[in-house]
Structure 1
């Protein structure tokens, strides 16, 4: 009986960095969203991402550019990066799934597993553990799952309707797609040329029990940078972590 050898931990990744970041204006008036700096760090979001990927064993990254691509490319060309970076630019909008497929075609090892991350995610957790989780489940794709804090205070009540407590910005009870992935080599072939993989490819894999969800470990940092408020909150949280 022939058995398939376990996949090695990925050493290549795609970073999706083509979004316009309209909710982050005026920060994104002259730069793409991943080039926005988190106050107090002196480094754009994508700089943090590439450092994290390198720390987790990634040696090659493909950055998919779009809005104000030249600004991002100029920074990548001038930065002292800890890994090899290739940039690609869509000539026409391909959608999230098509863009991911286009970028994946430029990975140096198409026969090996790969990571992917959205360009507006600021996080730190073990990608190696996530890759092991992915391999153990024989998944075609694995999504990191986060429990973000809701932006409002929550109220607890008893069975009679009395308010018993107030909780400031508690974590949601639902897990969400955290925008970080591990993909088997064959995943790229399942992506649409144009369109959204989250509405086509992911549901198909879920029905076939080939889609896994890796909960980001409790205490690990994760935040999506969507608005100016997110930048402010990220700066506060990072300052607190350094104390």
Structure 2
């Protein structure tokens, strides 16, 4: 088997309105929200991570308050080359991803993509190798988040036997980080949602792979003010 060629290009989807993060997103897009105590917006952490994983070129897909994000990118000292694209009309998640991918510098090579509200650290190279080994058209990172409520265990008779605070979910979820083959761009809809069209089709063809995040890998989606607080608390105990 040939040694896989690791992607050097990526798309960051940063166009969401972040309505559940208001008032933080009243004057900035969600990826520009800072995790307390870090002094850096979410997208800054993402770009640093991508650079550490060998990415040299990133296309940022902007939408809500795009100019705020563009101004920050223009003024920041970045570890890689960044280009922005802005949809002139709503294209849906799949159409937006295809529009952004058209601006990648190497259309004949594989690429990463990540949602702009994800804060994570794991080896993208390992994920890319996993993707290549399975000859997949697309590979999704899979996370097992903790349930935000306490769980109760019972015996067969109905007696409560234990209480478990915030247990891991029994289900894996889409972690919002991807590896795509070069051909995947052409499989995306021009307008619409690829998770309702392209992904199900690839799953039926056994060309969609799922990469479980390694044990101990940090992952959190920043959707609410509580997520910001929890991320700051967790990151204060992290080395990275």
- TM-score, with normalisation over the residues of structure 1? 0.97
Corresponding residue for 2:236? 239
**What CA distance in whole angstroms lies between the structure 1 residues aligned with 2:98 and 2:110?**
14
How many residues of Structure 1 are paired with residues of Structure 2 in the alignment? Answer: 240
Corresponding residue for 2:46? 49
**What CA distance in whole angstroms lies between the structure 1 residues aligned with 2:4 and 2:186?**
18
CA displacement at 1:157 relative to structure 2: 1.1
Corresponding residue for 1:154? 151
**What CA distance in whole angstroms lies between the structure 1 residues aligned with 2:161 and 2:79?**
51
**What CA distance in whole angstroms lies between the structure 2 residues aligned with 1:90 and 1:214?**
30
Are 1:34 and 1:119, in contact at CA under 8 Å, matched by a contact in 2? yes
Deviations 1:100-135 (A, max 9, x none): 000000000000000000000000000000000000
State whether structure 2 residue 211 is matched by structure 1 residue 228. Answer: no
**What CA distance in whole angstroms lies between the structure 1 residues aligned with 2:69 and 2:142?**
28
SS of equivalent to 1:241: coil
Corresponding residue for 1:205? 202
Are 1:34 and 1:46, in contact at CA under 8 Å, matched by a contact in 2? yes
Structure 1: where are the runs of 5+ without partners?
none
Are 1:37 and 1:43, in contact at CA under 8 Å, matched by a contact in 2? yes
Deviations 1:212-241 (A, max 9, x none): 000000110000000011101111111122
**What CA distance in whole angstroms lies between the structure 2 residues aligned with 1:201 and 1:69?**
27
**What CA distance in whole angstroms lies between the structure 1 residues aligned with 2:124 and 2:239?**
22
- RMSD (Å), alpha carbons: 1.2
Corresponding residue for 1:35? 32
Query: After TM superposition, which residue ranges in structure 1, 4 or more long, deviate above 6 angstroms?
Result: none
- TM-score, with normalisation over the residues of structure 2? 0.98
Structure 2: where are the runs of 5+ without partners?
none
